[in-house]
Structure 1
């Protein structure tokens, strides 16, 4: 053995000092063994323990152990570490006898794990056949019964998942879109389908607990002949007869006969229904309709929040996993950036271009960093000044958009009241909508003009939402932001535009519903302002659907047709349309925000939204596959999910805030709705709460006192600290495992290098041996001759 050779010891010590290498931000210390002669001797003797001590991972552990024990008793501690190391190595090198004693359950679990292995299908089949043909121990008694039940349940779940997968909605179109545009765009359509199912769940709450009870248990309508004021919803039958000649216009506007339907707030009763069930010994049952009307919105709001958080958490987890490899960005793009769902040659070329643009964008970020570092003070001041000017201009655009919506709304209102200024009096049987659309000359032209005026503010909002983001996209090119920040800032500005339009619309509606609608010397009071608010959201969602339909089939489709079949460069430039994902996401988030905000005043709105999303899928599919080409920006699935849910959460908060204010502060209408006998909706909640048993009230009041709040806060902090500690420990364990993977990889490289050296040395020995034998044979032949 060459262990006692001093020259080799010096060589080892020199290599031990200069053996630090960098591996992806992680460092390890590699100790190379002695010469190849020593390795050859170890392999010949099959000394596994000696060979294992030469691995880089073992050397790193041994060096760490020696350093930790050097402060007190260096020689004794290092010897103990080496003895322990040796015993661990011998134990690790022993054969695992339990491998040949697996039972049926363990073999079945191993077969199930083969499906998730990243190996070719032929290798999976080989592994499965090997496990099935291996000798297994049979389970006995209760263990065998338990294993069989588990196996049957797993098989049932697998078959059920297969059946549900085949019955999945829009499965075939999703595959077509995924094949041509990749996983990022198909995530948008999955998000649209997710919103469809969410609205179906919300609609089920509304149908089961509001619409059906109010339809089945409601009493006959009271007589309205004695009323001398304009009650919007006192007698729906009478209102329907009066406006029977305007069926189509009322259907579009939500006025007239539609006010007397379950579409709006004012129809729902304020009574507590009592009924008996003969099959239950005549038990008297009650159904509190006002309580149900406030609990159902709370239920679907909580359902929506939980669904958003749960779905968004999955996307953020996937995004965190992707961000772990940010130090290997270009390697991930080159080796892992291809979307294998693409099966079209043209789409493959576009995907190549998209990856090229992504790499170019990353290089632009690097160039941006270099330019930022080398930028002079004057250049920095000019850049910030330019950004400030552009942001001021963006704010001006937002303010102008709000002013345009405000002026359009005022113009629409004043123009509508010009037709009613000469009306003599308000008739007892007329609803507010009848008064609003009455004219001196009751003819079709005036009715159509009135309809256009009523829809004018909503058309203005939709048009601004379509064209103002294009201006934002043009302005941001002069601000020199990072490519990654361009999309985020554009999204932020577009969201602010949608928010500004909502604020102006809600403020105008609030001004009309909080008092008198004044127009010169004329004044009309809203008898059911909740129904009026519901009509505004009803018209807004219809307008958005109509604009989406018109833009897709009557504007974008002719553009795409001209761009494809024309030789003019100008027409090709105008006709080329990219599927810009953030814009389409904001479109459906905008619709969902309208649904959440208006569902309290128009309970049928989630049902209308479900129908709207169903047809919107086909509209967007046509727009994606026929009108548009894939965007040059690469959208990853995990980033898309987290982006969608973040924007949707903002829309949810924005929609719940005004509804909560109307419930807590605004006075309900005195002539319609479930809360016409109360000062506010929240006052009804308090009154109902006071009817609860004293024990329940005391418990709730106790939860609001400091006696309960302080300990609860302390316990919450304790749990937060606990989960923070667990997360820190998990991050540390991830770092340790990452280091171990690095060392294991170098162990493989080390063994392969040494094995190749051993093979080369063995080949040289064989060659020398063959030469010697050939020389002996040649000499013997010569001697014989």
Structure 2
């Protein structure tokens, strides 16, 4: 018996990805159940808030005040959504054509912004990889800037693009819930796609071979003797720069803005006011940082510890900023109803993290100079090499599980199970609707009995 380090390293990667997937799916299913039961009847939401929303166990005045504000805010949100639905329903054909044309133009601008971000990242990565090897003592600072250039460009794109999207979304006249979801999807796409463009640029240079010696290795051995470390360094740089930007925005923008609004009476300053706490922006930062962590852990094993410390500090920074430098949103927003959507976005980030990791593990040749897989052609090669050392019977079982004869029936069984749960969810939905109709009938019966009692009392 011996400890197989390459196999343990690969299995640890599969383990943390599988646990993350299971946990996100579990939380998403819970949120989907709540939306299925509570997210359809708006009148039921009003009744619950008005007649059953107060907690009579509250004795502290501060807690009572917070609860009162929470109920008031939720009622304002419901009324705002109803007002917007009525506004959309009352639009004329001319207004619809105007808003649809405006949305098409804005989407073209969004596409142009995305294309500019992707091209800038690709060129910055190419320039950095071509010039980062010119290291000398006399040009240390310029070389350091060249090495960190892709991370700087990605950080600037992640900071500027959401500001542009947040400004443009206000012109499209969507409901607050859909507005935050569309903004979040655009920002998630640009951030995750930026990571994809960076990795594509790196792998195009890593896999680019100009000599026969390089082709024999399967990657650019001369420029990247240990390419896994190069990718890990880029993920580390993105994590550090993301933390620096969050810290700098809070310390050098939010707090000075708070001081100016508090102590300066100039009209431009008062017109700008305090910054609103954007739920979509903060959720996006978490999804972006977690996706970097998922991708970078395979190449930089200490990255999760760095990310843990990073978010521990960011939590308290955000808390202080929210309590002292932010104001309530001008448009009411139901954040609780978006929890399921936020988890779906996080699931998208995890699924997209599978793609570069899968390519790195199964397709790109592993480094011959360092790493636990230097004696294998690819990282995945450790699995068949380990299986070849098993007894013959166990090898046949594993090969049978990996064969098409097992995969096709297994896929069919999974589809049948999925269809069963879909049908079960539809049946539960119909039962919920029947129970709601029964509650309506019960309320009508009670009203009828009250009228009969009133008439009997008037005419004894």
| Alpha-carbon shift at residue 352 of structure 1 (Å) | 4.8
8 Å contact 1:455–1:543 — kept in the other structure? no
1:402 paired to 2:118: yes
8 Å contact 2:37–2:432 — kept in the other structure? no
Match of 1:699 among 397, 412, 421: 397
Give the distance between the partners of 1:555 and 1:735, measured in 2 at CA: 50
Give the root-mean-square deviation of aligned CA atoms.
Answer: 3.1
State the match for 1:367 in structure 2. 87
| Alpha-carbon shift at residue 575 of structure 1 (Å) | 4.0
Match of 1:460 among 153, 156, 159: 153
Give the distance between the partners of 2:335 and 2:176, measured in 1 at CA: 19
1:451 paired to 2:144: yes
* TM-score between both structures, scaled by the size of structure 2: 0.86
1:315 paired to 2:31: yes
Give the distance between the partners of 1:517 and 1:631, measured in 2 at CA: 56
8 Å contact 1:365–1:483 — kept in the other structure? no
Give the distance between the partners of 2:357 and 2:419, measured in 1 at CA: 35
| Alpha-carbon shift at residue 629 of structure 1 (Å) | 1.5
Match of 1:600 among 284, 298, 307: 298
State the match for 1:486 in structure 2. 179
Per-residue deviation, residues 333-372 of structure 1 (Å, max 9, x unmatched): 776789999858699679857754652343122111221x
| Alpha-carbon shift at residue 618 of structure 1 (Å) | 0.9
Match of 2:109 among 350, 373, 393: 393
1:661 paired to 2:379: no
| Alpha-carbon shift at residue 299 of structure 1 (Å) | 0.5
8 Å contact 1:515–1:525 — kept in the other structure? no
State the match for 1:287 in structure 2. 3
Give the distance between the partners of 1:551 and 1:307, measured in 2 at CA: 32
Give the distance between the partners of 1:318 and 1:630, measured in 2 at CA: 26
State the match for 1:384 in structure 2. 100
| Alpha-carbon shift at residue 397 of structure 1 (Å) | 0.8
Per-residue deviation, residues 364-394 of structure 1 (Å, max 9, x unmatched): 22111221xx314xx6555433322221111
Give the distance between the partners of 1:391 and 1:744, measured in 2 at CA: 49
| Alpha-carbon shift at residue 543 of structure 1 (Å) | 1.1
Give the distance between the partners of 1:697 and 1:346, measured in 2 at CA: 63
Alignment of 1:405-416 (within 5 A): 405-416=121-132
Give the distance between the partners of 1:707 and 1:537, measured in 2 at CA: 40
| Alpha-carbon shift at residue 724 of structure 1 (Å) | 4.2
- Gapped regions of structure 1 (runs ≥ 5): 1-284, 421-436, 763-785
Give the distance between the partners of 2:382 and 2:198, measured in 1 at CA: 28
Match of 2:207 among 514, 520, 523: 514
State the match for 1:753 in structure 2. 451
| Alpha-carbon shift at residue 513 of structure 1 (Å) | 2.2
Per-residue deviation, residues 596-626 of structure 1 (Å, max 9, x unmatched): 0000000011111111111111111112111
Give the distance between the partners of 2:374 and 2:239, measured in 1 at CA: 27
8 Å contact 1:308–1:649 — kept in the other structure? yes
Give the distance between the partners of 1:737 and 1:350, measured in 2 at CA: 29
* TM-score between both structures, scaled by the size of structure 1: 0.52
Give the distance between the partners of 2:363 and 2:47, measured in 1 at CA: 58
| Alpha-carbon shift at residue 688 of structure 1 (Å) | 1.4
Match of 2:262 among 534, 540, 564: 564
Specify whether residues 355 and 453 from structure 1 end up closer, same or farther in structure 2 by C-alpha distance, changes over 3 A only.
farther
Match of 1:469 among 162, 170, 174: 162
| Alpha-carbon shift at residue 682 of structure 1 (Å) | 1.7
Specify whether residues 452 and 355 from structure 1 end up closer, same or farther in structure 2 by C-alpha distance, changes over 3 A only.
farther
State the match for 1:500 in structure 2. 193
| Alpha-carbon shift at residue 761 of structure 1 (Å) | 4.0
Give the distance between the partners of 2:268 and 2:64, measured in 1 at CA: 28
Give the distance between the partners of 2:49 and 2:86, measured in 1 at CA: 15
1:306 paired to 2:9: no
Deviation larger for 707-716 or 691-700: 707-716
Structure 1 SS opposite 2:253 = helix
Specify whether residues 723 and 538 from structure 1 end up closer, same or farther in structure 2 by C-alpha distance, changes over 3 A only.
closer
State the match for 2:217 in structure 1. none
Specify whether residues 722 and 404 from structure 1 end up closer, same or farther in structure 2 by C-alpha distance, changes over 3 A only.
closer
Specify whether residues 456 and 514 from structure 1 end up closer, same or farther in structure 2 by C-alpha distance, changes over 3 A only.
same
Specify whether residues 576 and 661 from structure 1 end up closer, same or farther in structure 2 by C-alpha distance, changes over 3 A only.
same
Per-residue deviation, residues 126-148 of structure 1 (Å, max 9, x unmatched): xxxxxxxxxxxxxxxxxxxxxxx
Give the distance between the partners of 1:603 and 1:477, measured in 2 at CA: 42
Count of equivalent residues = 447
8 Å contact 2:74–2:334 — kept in the other structure? no
Rg comparison, structure with higher value: 1
Give the distance between the partners of 2:233 and 2:450, measured in 1 at CA: 75
Give the distance between the partners of 1:370 and 1:362, measured in 2 at CA: 12
8 Å contact 1:599–1:605 — kept in the other structure? yes
Give the distance between the partners of 2:411 and 2:118, measured in 1 at CA: 43
Give the distance between the partners of 2:293 and 2:415, measured in 1 at CA: 37
Structure 2 SS opposite 1:675 = coil
- Gapped regions of structure 2 (runs ≥ 5): 212-220
Give the distance between the partners of 2:185 and 2:299, measured in 1 at CA: 29
Specify whether residues 317 and 603 from structure 1 end up closer, same or farther in structure 2 by C-alpha distance, changes over 3 A only.
same
State the match for 2:375 in structure 1. 677
